[in-house]
Structure 1
């Protein structure tokens, strides 16, 4: 009989939290926009069409998971993907899994451009 392994509750919670953050369509839209480069909240509001407070809340969730970083310049805050290549790898793996399970889907070209960049 195979050895029974205990689940790592901390790792399970970390994975669940990350997948929960990435499960929201608005947050995925923000990720897609940030894949093209830095944006201010106001830029994201214009692109996505959500209220400023809603975009800020979603950015807060993405920052909490350290998927997004912020750079302050004067009174402006510029947001960017913290690990763009690693996030592109996750998205590429997700696309392969979706294809394998009969639901082919692909996110925007900005993400695909990250996938073709050499690793840093």
Structure 2
């Protein structure tokens, strides 16, 4: 699993991966479901799912002939906390200008 939250944020910057995550937030789905829901080609969806799996954002669960993909909420929460920390730091230093 990629432990650095910026890596997860970078992965979610891709529109199709972000769409896959939004769909999976509604519950586990197969590649076929995701292809139908996004209109993307199966190899493209599979490639993005592989990247999301490697980052620990989704897990794969075999069920009979199908594999269902499920979000890992803790990883998304970690990325959200990272962004919240950056926002707080930006608020705290908004009036602090660096010397030239």
Give TM-score, length-normalised by structure 1.
Answer: 0.59
User: Which residue of structure 1 lines up, in the alignment, with residue 11 of structure 2?
Assistant: 21
User: Which residue of structure 2 lines up, in the alignment, with residue 53 of structure 1?
Assistant: 43
1:71 matched to 2:61: yes
Distance 1:42 1:53 in 2: 11
Q: Which has the higher strand share?
A: 2
User: Which residue of structure 2 lines up, in the alignment, with residue 6 of structure 1?
Assistant: none
Aligned positions, number: 86
1:22 positional shift: 1.2
The one of the two structures with greater contact order (alpha-carbon pairs below 8 A, sep at least 6) is 2
Distance 1:63 1:38 in 2: 14
User: Which residue of structure 2 lines up, in the alignment, with residue 87 of structure 1?
Assistant: 76
Give TM-score, length-normalised by structure 2.
Answer: 0.70
Gaps in structure 2 of 5+ consecutive residues: 88-100
1:44 matched to 2:34: yes
Gaps in structure 1 of 5+ consecutive residues: 1-10, 98-120
1:19 positional shift: 2.5
CA RMSD, aligned part only?
2.7
